Structure 1
Amino acid sequence: MSTPDAPRARRFYQEMFGWPVSVLDETYALVGEEGGRPTGGVGQAGPVSPYTGVVVYFQVDDMDAALARAEKLGGSRRLEPQSVPGMGRMAVFTDPDGNPVGLLSP
């Protein structure tokens, strides 16, 4: 999830669902059991953030190939691949209707 007020969103979802949250820095926190693999994250969106809102992430073996395929099918990159501690690499593209879709790879 990318939001304009990450601390507020973390508190809300932590209290709403009892989610354990591990704050990495002022811009990003991982959601999931302590010591286990994270199941999500809450990131701080800024004025030039590539997207806001909840994004569903799909596991892929080859991030670059998946992004190239999305673009070939009419999608557009929104967030270039980057490393996330404990999760591997992540990226976001939009489908032809403008919906953000996330990718995760080892």
Structure 2
Amino acid sequence: MGQPVAYFEITSTAPEKIRAFYTELFGWTAAADPSMEGYAMVDTGAGPDAISGGIGPSQAPGDTGVKIYVRVDDLEKELARAGQLGADTLALPMDLPEGYGRIAVVADPDGNPVGLWA
């Protein structure tokens, strides 16, 4: 069985503007959390089985856009495997707040960012 897409993230240098765009366009709710530097968890309103997401500020030059996070069983193993398949590591493994697991981000061979989440 394949690994599921578990999360999406939209980052922007103008996160308030982008948050307003997506919430108005799709009827989502997303309230910025000051304790998370203005990052907003998205509720798509699609029910408990929907993929969750977030909208937030850019953290580094060139990191704006949309990326998916794919659920993996072993973060370090899949990060190494991605490298063997031609990916570059963009963000080393890091712990998420409140025990939500760990993530890393790679660039696929075309340069598209893809998150790995364990």
Shorter-chain-normalised TM-score: which range?
0.7 to 0.9
* 1:66 to partner: Cα distance: 1.1
Cα 1:16–1:85, aligned 2, differ >3 Å: closer, same or farther?
A: farther
Distance 1:37 1:7, change over 3 A: same
What amino acid is the match of 1:79?
A
Residue 43 of structure 1 deviates from its aligned partner by 2.0
More off after superposition, 92-101 vs 20-29? 20-29
- Quick one: higher RCO (CA 8 Å, sep 6+), 1 or 2? 2
Provide the TM-score with structure 1 as the length reference: 0.79
Unmatched 5+ stretches in structure 2: 1-9
> RMSD of the TM alignment (CA)?
2.7
Partner of 2:73: 61
Contact 2:27–2:44 under 8 Å retained in 1: no
**1-structure distance, mates of 2:50, 2:100:** 7
Q: CA deviation at 1:70?
A: 0.7
CA contact (8 A) 1:29 1:41 kept: yes
1:19-38 Cα offsets, whole Å, 9 max, x none, are: 12142333411112699987
CA contact (8 A) 2:101 2:117 kept: yes
Report if aligned partners of 1:2, 1:43 keep a CA contact under 8 Å in 2. Answer: yes
Task: Report the equivalent of 1:11.
Answer: 20
SS of the counterpart of 1:15? helix
> How many residue pairs get matched?
104
Q: Secondary structure at the match of 2:25?
A: helix
Residue of structure 2 equivalent to 1:28 = 39
What's the % identity of the aligned pairs? 40
CA contact (8 A) 1:37 1:86 kept: no
- 3-state SS of the aligned residue for 2:116? strand
